[in-house]
Structure 1
């Protein structure tokens, strides 16, 4: 976003120091880096909070650490290839979910093996040809009994949320001797959770989406469900109800959901009512991310495209074709860098791509 402001200079600013027009923050993203090294689909990715560094998690059972400043020119293209500087190995089976701590010192990964592995992040300048570092694996969080599909981290109390195919959502304080603080939806009353996030404007609350089409806000302390977010559409079609991702707006009491039926929906956390619904892609919407300033939403889909949306007007400001299909699946995850002008996507084609 900084680049975009520099481009428009002072003339784009109104008296109050805010952009005079909605487009002053507009940035057109262009492909820059291709991250090739995984042997199978890349299910999740996350950026370091301040460094030009990211972690990817793959169905090839590994996670990889990438430093975007360590590149090799790609053959026959303007983009740069990046080589991983570290490979994390501990999961038995595909790695499905990922979260990085707010200080960038730890990383957590959830797998089909029902474990959450907890890692100390190697230095961005680690030599990829160094010997194996046993102290990178900090521990394993064990309590789930099935695949861990979603993770979210909050720096306020340094807590981790996880959701699993076993039907539960769990809250963790990884540093504690008994790290699992609380369990939610133990009776599977709402279905199987598919995604989880801390509420940006109220970190004492979290939101979880379910395969039944329900989205529920919980009080983390009391573990009570506070608000059911409903779109008033009850159909018998389980698959069309299926929610792939839920994200909380960083500053507003708004929850956004991505659906198997190509929709993105917006909800008011206070009333539980739907604010807006739109057909956002040509295929299932798999992933969502809100930019750190809360102005743009990014969505990824099995239609092979990333779309950027103005959150205010709900209009699409850019579409990028990013990945190839593999067995009818394409993009699994998208992310904004918390403090630098990078976005990234993770694909079933075993690639991750970074745009600037």
Structure 2
């Protein structure tokens, strides 16, 4: 049974294992409410996962500790289990799908775990972990559907309530539901009036659909840049706890997630992975009834793959009007590019890419296409530049 005493016990046990992450004010995320961030992206291993796995491992018997622990993950859970096991002097074996990013594989090894690469996807790694558990006597550390894991995650709720007792709402990312189950249980037990909201990626709405249908729903497929919450089916324990203690669940799009990642980088100098930014995205884009409220967004992790970070930033720039692509149909004669450049410069835009196409499908044999990428201020600025070009006789395609 999950109890408040168990979460307080977890908090005591984890004092020397995890970092207490202090709230950070974020006034520009949404000017219509008072926003604070709980930066678990600054946690050891870069994610909240260390809390749950750390407490679960601490509660093992001496015999279980002697046999070691096993887990399967392609990211944050693997690193959390690895570091927690190392801190308690226990052997850990992590089964990873062979497609896992090299950076995450190496990070897991560096935290002290033995790694078993499994051909296939997460489900194949899970099956291998269960096989090795049964064969070798390891204890399996579930990523979310375990009461001790949930209690460990609930320490985030205690920290928020201790630091800001008058908070009106807490917004939490949801994958399998372990994080929000613990946070919601702790917060509601301390203050039943507080609102707890969950956020999922629109491409992986397993808990959202399950709560809506009143039963656990398994998705056929998931697709989102928020890989940390790309879960096809919630757990039995987490489904029950979310049903009882969470007020509302909403979803956010890939574009909204990208914009939130960009906002955190620019405004807060904080790196969040997609899963960690969904809570911020929900508040940024007014998906929740928090106007005029004091709100804490849990930024659950910061382990974004650097190889996709540039693409996410580019997408975020386009979604907020900070970057624009224009295609202009021109007559192919001297001076045209100079005129276009002057109009854009006079409007305060900055041309960062130019592509000139002579051979094209334009009806006029003397015509050509000019494709530009601009650095702009916002959508109003883009509209002003487009109007200036049209007013000067240029045709936008």
TM-score, with length taken from structure 2:
0.26
Higher helix share: 2
For the pair shown, which has the larger CA radius of gyration, 1 or 2?
Answer: 2
Instruction: Normalising by structure 1, report the TM-score.
Output: 0.28
